[in-house]
Amino acid sequence: MISLSTAALEQIRHSAATGAMQSVPLRIAVKKLEDGSLHYAMGFDEHKLPGDTFFNFDGVDLVVSSGSKDLADGMTIDYVELEPGKLEFIFLNPNDPAYVPPLT
């Protein structure tokens, strides 16, 4: 299961409204590279593919392909300020070899 932080959910809603994509699911993709690291991508996608899994988070639809599902299992997507004034989506994924759990 994938989870979204409140900040990520709000930013996805904002992006969908800005691009008139409110009814289009956000596709999350995770790919294992040759060196074992994971590459992440996301974008609004109205195409449905065989094996897709859909999630709904408070009215926001996410879709994950069958090829990405296992790599994304347990992942949290957050939207954080990495540098002053620079907000970005980050993927907190325990399946990623580079994953470091956040300090609590």
Contact (Cβ atoms closer than 8 angstroms) between residue 68 and residue 29: yes
Q: Whole-angstrom Cα distance, residue 103 to residue 69?
A: 26
- The whole model's pTM is what? 0.89
Q: Whole-angstrom Cα distance, residue 81 to residue 95?
A: 23
Domains and CATH numbers, the chain: 3-92 (2.60.300.12)
The pLDDT value recorded for residue 94 is 94
The pLDDT value recorded for residue 55 is 93
Which residues of the chain fall short of a pLDDT of 50?
Answer: none
The pLDDT value recorded for residue 52 is 96
The pLDDT value recorded for residue 102 is 77
Q: Whole-angstrom Cα distance, residue 78 to residue 90?
A: 5
Contact (Cβ atoms closer than 8 angstroms) between residue 74 and residue 25: no
Please tell me the number of Cα atoms within 13 Å of 65 on its side-chain side. 17
